[in-house]
Amino acid sequence: MSRSLIHKYRNDLSDLRRRSGSRRESVVREAFKDLLKGMGRARDLVFVPEHEIPTPQGRRYVDGALVDEVRIPFGYWEAKDEDDDLDGEIEAKLRRGYPRDNIVFEDSRTAVLYQHGHEVARCSVEDADALEKLLGAFFAFERPEIAGFRKAVRQFQADLPAVLGALRDMIEGQHAKNAAFRAAADAFLAEGQGTINPDLTGADVREMLIQHILTEEIFARVFGESDFHRHNNVARQLYALEEKFFRGNVKWQTLKGLEPYYAAIRAAAARISSHHEKQKFLKAVYENFYKVYNPKAADRLGVVYTPNEIVRFMIEGADHLCREHFGKGLIDRGVEILDPATGTGTFVTELIEYFRGQKDKLRHKYLEELHANEVAILPYYVANLNIEATYAAIAGEYLEYPNLCFVDTLDNVAALKSSKGKTDDLFGAVSEENVARIERQNARRISVVIGNPPYNANQLNENENNKNRAYPEIDRRIKATYVRASNAQKTKLYDMYVRFFRWASDRVDENGIVAFVTSRSFVERLSADGFRKEVARDFNEIVVVDLGGDARDDLKLSGSKHNVFGIRTGVAISFLVRRRDAQGCRIRYTRRPQDETAEEKLAFLGANRLADLRFETIEPDADDNWLNVAENDFESFLPIATNETKTTKLPRQEQAIFKLFSLGVNTSRDEWLYAHDVKTLKNKVKHFVREYEKSVKLVQEIKEKKDVQIFQSSIKWSRTLKLDAIRGHTESFDSDLIVGAAYRPFTKRYLYESSLFIDEIGAAQKLFPPGKENAAIAFSHIGTRTKYCILAIKGIADLHFGSAVDIYQQAPRYRYTDGQRIDNITDWALRQFQDRYGARGVTKDAIFRYVYGVLHDPVYRETYAQNLKRSFPRIPFYADFGRWAAWGEDLMGLHLGYETVEPWPLKRVDVPGEGTPRVVLKALKDEGVLVLDGETRLSGVPAEAWGYVLGNRTAVDWVLDQHKEKTPKDPTIREKFDTYRFADHKERVIDLLGRVVRVSVETVAVTEAMRGVPIAERGEGFGGGGA
């Protein structure tokens, strides 16, 4: 990689010289900067231009520095003109105090490397080998304090549990025997329940005290403000608690195991002079500490902090919109600003920086009109220190920051318009001063709400007992607005970022702005239709800068590479403007390129202002879609299924092709309830039943049925199963419940079909009762993220049949009630088709096949792609019913009978080796080869086979993927029941691959024939404008 980057550097340098006609440093240095950035990126180093360094003569700036994850400078770079005397310039720079430990000087002809105070390498930049060697030495450098810090972090991870255990035991012991401590702790708890969290417990107070104790040394050393803990209003209360039992030798003995960590922080902090870099260092140390100390809390609170480029862009954007709409800037009097989830104070410190140069206005803003809230004690401390230190550095005077509240914003509803007339119990919130701050903030008319709300919404694993709490008032408002206005799935409307949008919409003044960076899902997710409708009612202008980066929607993207937060959820910056004198809502939208990297996005935001961007104006459609608005005749087609038809008991009210449809089964514990073989499934389920019954027995003996360790962690729990256990529901093991299921395309698994242990079984027992034959069409549900997927099946489908990120419906040919088979195609549908085509040849079986054929039509899928994401399929009347029914019959025969079709003649090559061959199961598509393991390959896969795609994989890839040896996620399964070995199924898989290749080739042949049908033969109005 180094050599390719050097080659690119030399080409870039040549281009810069040729295009600019200049050899000046300011022009040609860009090429070397890009070289350092590229090589640094591969080593997790960040390039910082114009990096500030301390020298005996004052502050200087090198042209660039590479810093590591905790912002410690790794190495430096200084560029000079080609016309300069490079050696003379180096000597002059070193005399002025420039660093000598690891710095590259270059003038685009010669590069010189200094390390440990001496020149260690020099070369021509035209000599690629020598330049690679010089840069290799530069990047091989290891600063002692960085190595010490990393070692200390590893040691910290090992030592912290013992220290935590000792502290917790000590605090519990003091609570039991030390009356003064107990009284102070109980008072602190009673006060804290006021606004921090009504569910605050004694254990929470204990953890806050522990965090306070452990971080006192960190804050004291980074900024040299050793008295911070004594001066801050909340810290004083915790310090008073600490003083009652934890001082002197007791304190020293308890914490001495963490001294290497504190010493490493002191050494690292000593190298950082820039106030900005100290802030970033403290934030990095905080994140590192918090995720080691309490990873569950870090996840629950959504500990992901905002890049400064985003913060500055949002501040400039909010300032621009404030001036444009209200004739005032953020700095002006009367503009009250609130960051409702300040984290480590990044938005507030950047606002102070943005106001630099306006000393008197800044002082007033800082003391009176700049507000922030934080709910977690550690970031609250960091924010307080950051904000006060930033103000002191810029204003030249230290002033306590009086507007930082220790409070959960979403609980603080007293000032919301929706809560007027309600009383809010502010009897105490940690300290009297904190209460006064909250009341003062609530009395203000907030003009601008700006920030980055916590990202976490839903706990993924119920076993973690790490649930996000409810917010009754905000959730009531969401239900009355976003949920009521929505026609789609409701649950995601309680995401944390949606809660903050609701809170801010109710809190901001009648002339005001909300500026948030959040998930981008509200822009186009079907489930956010109610949100889009209501936010357009609440505000008069909406400006969205969509940063993309949704790695879940686009499998080509990487969260770490393409997302500005390094996560898999896409991100957008939103500005919402409310004007008292305005009517209607203008929506403006712009999006960064899909394949742009996070670094490129941040560079763009750093180089541009909101006022300079080009936007498109969005006109929402009737369903409140903002993007990919579809204008065609889709609504005029016959609905495949509707809730009204499904639920009505009157046949005359049925107006859809299928009466019954159902989601696939959602087990919530696939690793327990599915298996490749019956024996393994039996063993897993028997264990599950035993452990479940233990918990049921235990929970019945405990009156207070909250989430304590009564639910045996050796099995997989969910909210539904916990409720069943609390209600005393049990079920004995029954081998008759083991059935075959369509787990993934062309992949069968055995399923334990238990209505107790499967969270959502749907209508599975009406579709495929034991001993009864049926066929169903599995199809992508509304909101699919991957390619649309249709497949005929003859067994129960899993909820995630065609993609782990999507869900699937089933429309069966028949349904069963009490063992009686009932036709599932409605009489209404039969009449519609016979009225159109006549009765001859138009039967319910033919309609079933016709529907299957049309749903495979590639032209239909492309034309109505957006419609299919937003609603169930609708079926057009094509001109030639018989031809499309015949194609549907051919495809259904292939797909239902895939296990019995003639295998494609693949050539098998075995090269036996020693020992057990390594499992590969990989397709080399360009070569038409399937690599099964270290011994066996299959060749001769025709190119057409790769054209048959279901969801996010080809049919062949599904077979390969579903037969890989994967480490189970569940620890009990991993330990006791990880019995699957590919070698046991190898011959069956080879046979299956040959058949699925055949199915793929012949399916593609049919769909290509479909593509050749002229538009005129697809029926009147196909693809045209309409409803």
Q: What's the Cα-to-Cα distance from 804 to each of 477, 784, 807, 953, rounded to whole Å?
A: 32, 11, 8, 11
- Tell me the average pLDDT across 161-190: 82
d(CA 369, CA 777): 60
Residue 1010 has what pLDDT? 97
Would you say the C-alpha torsion 688, 693, 696, 697 has a positive or negative sign? negative
Segments forming the whole domain that contains residue 282: 147-301+337-444
Comparison of pLDDT for 781 and 21, the residue scoring more = 781
What tokens appear for 693 in the block? 């019954």
Would you say the C-alpha torsion 666, 671, 675, 680 has a positive or negative sign? negative
Examine the fold and report which residue of 444, 478, 504 is the final residue of a domain before the chain moves on: 444
* Res. 423 pLDDT band, cuts 50 70 90: very low
Residues whose CB is less than 8 angstroms from the CB of residue 291 and which lie 6 or more positions away in sequence, other chains included: 298, 303
d(CA 613, CA 611): 6
Q: What is the DSSP letter of 918?
A: P
Phi and psi at 742, nearest 5°, equal -90, 90
Residue 462 has what pLDDT? 42
Question: Could you tell me if 701 and 782 lie in one domain?
Answer: yes
Give the 3-state secondary structure percentages of the chain, helix then strand then coil, rounded to 5.
50, 15, 35
Residue 1 has what pLDDT? 54
**Centroid of chain to Cα 314:** 21
Phi and psi at 198, nearest 5°, equal -65, -20
Residue 305 has what pLDDT? 67
Q: In this structure, are residues 855 and 874 in contact, taking their beta carbons and an 8 Å threshold?
A: no
- CB atoms closer than 10 angstroms to residue 898: 21
Look at residue 1024 and give its three-state secondary structure: coil
Question: Which pLDDT tens digit goes with each residue over 568-622?
Answer: 788 999 999 999 999 999 999 999 988 888 888 888 898 899 999 999 999 998 8
Examine the fold and report which residue of 398, 422, 444 is the final residue of a domain before the chain moves on: 444
pLDDT at residue 558 is higher than 60: yes
d(CA 302, CA 457): 9
Residue 68 has what pLDDT? 77
Return the minimum-mean-pLDDT range out of 295-304, 805-814, 922-931. Answer: 295-304
Decide if 156 is inside a domain.
Answer: yes
**Centroid of chain to Cα 455:** 8
d(CA 304, CA 290): 12
Would you say the C-alpha torsion 455, 424, 405, 291 has a positive or negative sign? negative
Q: In this structure, are residues 271 and 73 in contact, taking their beta carbons and an 8 Å threshold?
A: yes
pLDDT at residue 332 is higher than 70: yes
Residue 461 has what pLDDT? 42
Question: Could you tell me if 406 and 294 lie in one domain?
Answer: yes
d(CA 839, CA 820): 27
Question: Which pLDDT tens digit goes with each residue over 237-268?
Answer: 777 778 887 877 777 777 777 777 777 777 77
Q: In this structure, are residues 149 and 115 in contact, taking their beta carbons and an 8 Å threshold?
A: no
Residue 302 has what pLDDT? 46
**Centroid of chain to Cα 899:** 39
Residue 978 burial (CB < 10 Å; 0-12/13-18/19+)? middle
Q: What percent of the chain has pLDDT over 70?
A: 86
Residue 707 has what pLDDT? 46
d(CA 690, CA 672): 13
- Tell me the average pLDDT across 91-101: 91
pLDDT at residue 421 is higher than 60: no
Question: Could you tell me if 131 and 155 lie in one domain?
Answer: no
Does residue 746 come out as left (phi exceeding 0), alpha (psi in the -120 to 50 range) or beta?
Answer: left
Residue 295 has what pLDDT? 63
Residue 458 has what pLDDT? 39
In DSSP terms, 276 is beta-bridged to none
What tokens appear for 893 in the block? 């025969």
Residue 704 has what pLDDT? 52
Decide if 311 is inside a domain.
Answer: no
Return the minimum-mean-pLDDT range out of 145-159, 358-372, 455-469, 559-573. Answer: 455-469
Question: Could you tell me if 965 and 981 lie in one domain?
Answer: yes
Instruction: Give pairs for 616-622: CB < 8 Å, separation 24+.
Output: 616/588, 616/589, 616/590, 617/586, 617/587, 617/588, 617/589, 618/587, 618/588, 618/589, 619/587, 620/532, 620/533, 620/536, 620/587
Question: Could you tell me if 498 and 517 lie in one domain?
Answer: yes
Question: Could you tell me if 131 and 168 lie in one domain?
Answer: no
* Res. 275 pLDDT band, cuts 50 70 90: low
Question: Which residue stretches of 678-747 are H helix?
Answer: 678-701, 719-726
Question: Could you tell me if 721 and 855 lie in one domain?
Answer: yes
Would you say the C-alpha torsion 120, 123, 125, 130 has a positive or negative sign? negative
Q: What is the DSSP letter of 365?
A: I
Question: Which pLDDT tens digit goes with each residue over 800-813?
Answer: 999 988 899 999 99
Place of tokens 């993007």: 627
d(CA 446, CA 514): 10
Residue 814 carries which side chain, given as an amino acid letter?
Answer: Y
Residues whose CB is less than 8 angstroms from the CB of residue 1024 and which lie 6 or more positions away in sequence, other chains included: 632, 633
Residue 271 has what pLDDT? 66
* Res. 826 pLDDT band, cuts 50 70 90: very high
3-state helix/strand/coil string of 573-627:
EEEEEECCCCCCCEEEEEECCCCCCHHHHHHHHHHCCHHHCCCEEECCCCCCCCC
Question: Could you tell me if 605 and 479 lie in one domain?
Answer: yes
**Centroid of chain to Cα 841:** 51
- Tell me the average pLDDT across 836-840: 95
Q: In this structure, are residues 740 and 795 in contact, taking their beta carbons and an 8 Å threshold?
A: yes
Residue 535 carries which side chain, given as an amino acid letter?
Answer: V
Decide if 723 is inside a domain.
Answer: yes
Decide if 872 is inside a domain.
Answer: yes
Question: Could you tell me if 220 and 346 lie in one domain?
Answer: yes
Residue 1017 has what pLDDT? 82
What tokens appear for 997 in the block? 């290749």
User: Could you give the number of structural domains in the chain?
Assistant: 5
Indicate the helix (H) or strand (E) that contains 33.
Answer: helix 25-41
Q: In this structure, are residues 548 and 592 in contact, taking their beta carbons and an 8 Å threshold?
A: yes
* Res. 637 pLDDT band, cuts 50 70 90: very high
Question: Which pLDDT tens digit goes with each residue over 514-554?
Answer: 999 999 989 988 888 899 999 999 999 999 999 988 776 66
CATH number at residue 119: 3.90.1570
Instruction: Give pairs for 563-570: CB < 8 Å, separation 24+.
Output: 563/598, 564/307, 564/310, 564/598, 564/601, 564/602, 565/304, 565/307, 565/455, 566/304, 566/598, 567/304, 567/455, 569/455, 569/519, 569/520, 569/521, 570/519, 570/520, 570/521, 570/546
Q: What is the mean pLDDT of the chain?
A: 86
d(CA 129, CA 985): 51
d(CA 325, CA 542): 13
How many residues in total does the chain contain?
Answer: 1027
Question: Could you tell me if 62 and 90 lie in one domain?
Answer: yes
pLDDT at residue 919 is higher than 50: yes
Question: Could you tell me if 755 and 836 lie in one domain?
Answer: yes
Residue 692 has what pLDDT? 94
Examine the fold and report which residue of 94, 115, 141 is the final residue of a domain before the chain moves on: 141
**Highest-scoring range by mean pLDDT, 354-358, 559-563, 921-925:** 921-925
Return the minimum-mean-pLDDT range out of 198-202, 833-837, 978-982. Answer: 198-202
Would you say the C-alpha torsion 413, 415, 417, 422 has a positive or negative sign? positive
d(CA 983, CA 94): 66
Decide if 817 is inside a domain.
Answer: yes
d(CA 90, CA 178): 65
Decide if 638 is inside a domain.
Answer: no
Decide if 320 is inside a domain.
Answer: no
pLDDT at residue 406 is higher than 70: yes
Place of tokens 């969005």: 618
Question: Could you tell me if 565 and 592 lie in one domain?
Answer: yes
pLDDT at residue 706 is higher than 80: no
Would you say the C-alpha torsion 415, 416, 421, 422 has a positive or negative sign? negative
d(CA 872, CA 894): 24
Q: In this structure, are residues 90 and 105 in contact, taking their beta carbons and an 8 Å threshold?
A: yes
pLDDT at residue 290 is higher than 90: no
Decide if 785 is inside a domain.
Answer: yes
Residue 138 has what pLDDT? 96
